[in-house]
Amino acid sequence: MKDLKASLVECYGKDLEQRKRWYSPAAEAYHQVRPRYPEELIQQVVEIAQLSANSTLLEIGCGPAIATHSFASLGCSMTCLEPNPDFYQLAQQNCAPYPHVEIQNLSFEEWEPKTRKYDAVLAASSFHWIPPDIGYPKAANALHPDGYLILLWNKELQPRYEVYQQLSEIYQAIAPALGCYEDRAMQEEILQELGQMSIDSGKFKNLISGQIASEVTYSVDEYLMLLTTYSPYLKLELQQRQQLFEQLRHAIEKNGSTIQLSYLSAFHIAQPV
């Protein structure tokens, strides 16, 4: 397994302007095919963090508002930060039914905290894009003393291992760096490390974690669209990506028009020290 901290540096180590526009080529695809967070997981989070219509939330990197609506539907007041202009537009559209949700087109780094303190700071598959020496202290400072940091994660969707083995030769020939496979044990290990980072920051305590395993079925088109939303694929040159996808499509379609995928969804909840 690639060192997690090295992988994280590849995200938050980019120039801020580059990070802001990183997902622009795949913004609509991200909105369409990235998995949602299981309702059971959200309910656990709401209960642990004691969220209600009276709560105030700050969401960091809301993207196209994939997780936002689950909390907005509680009726709570939300301030959502999204630096990517394409995600910002999608988030505005998707949150139109919630007048108590404010979307701001700026990064957490640029956001200027006011005297107001929040009941919860939420980041759904986004906190790894913020340098930890900025993210954890700033999040802790934005919270009430008895507030909660809520980190949600959806790990990368994985095909069955026997399918991966069939695709492995294609990856080795065209894009060897992308040919890794995350089984459940590996995804659990990564999630455990991500949770521990909040405690290691020295800014949070009382970590509570939970996870749910999900299985989904995607069409081949949806699966290839999904891959375009993952950073390693975004870094590929267009010709290389087209060649890879053409051969992946051919191999997958030998077994039918759909592909079964599995992944872990998880939460980490902690309180400021």
Would 59 be classed as within a structural domain? yes
Would 239 be classed as within a structural domain? no
pLDDT tens-digit map of 134-155: 999 999 999 999 999 999 999 9
- Residue 36, domain extent: 4-157+183-214+264-272
Would 18 be classed as within a structural domain? yes
CA dihedral 223, 227, 229, 234 (to 10 degrees): -150
- The structural domain count of the chain equals 1
| 8 A C-beta contact, residue 231 and residue 192 | no
DSSP state of 54: T
Q: What is the pLDDT along the chain (273 residues), one digit of tens a residue?
A: 457 888 899 899 899 999 999 999 999 999 999 999 999 999 999 999 999 999 999 999 999 999 999 999 999 999 999 999 999 999 999 999 999 999 999 999 999 988 779 999 999 999 999 999 999 999 999 999 999 999 999 999 999 999 999 999 999 999 998 988 999 999 999 999 999 999 999 999 999 999 999 999 999 999 999 999 999 999 999 999 999 999 999 999 998 999 999 999 999 999 999
Would 174 be classed as within a structural domain? no
Would 170 be classed as within a structural domain? no
Would 200 be classed as within a structural domain? yes
Would 144 be classed as within a structural domain? yes
| 8 A C-beta contact, residue 170 and residue 248 | yes
Q: Which residues neighbour 157 within 8 Å (Cβ) at sequence distance 6 or greater?
A: 35, 216, 218, 223, 226, 261, 262, 263
Token representation of residue 272 = 């400021």
pLDDT tens-digit map of 111-128: 998 877 999 999 999 999
Would 39 be classed as within a structural domain? yes
Token representation of residue 17 = 């302007």
pLDDT tens-digit map of 45-79: 999 999 999 999 999 999 999 999 999 999 999 99
The model's pTM: 0.95
The CATH number that applies at residue 122 is 3.40.50.150
- Other C-beta atoms lying within 10 Å of the C-beta of residue 168: 14
Give the C-alpha separation, 252 to 215, whole Å: 18
Give the C-alpha separation, 41 to 246, whole Å: 36
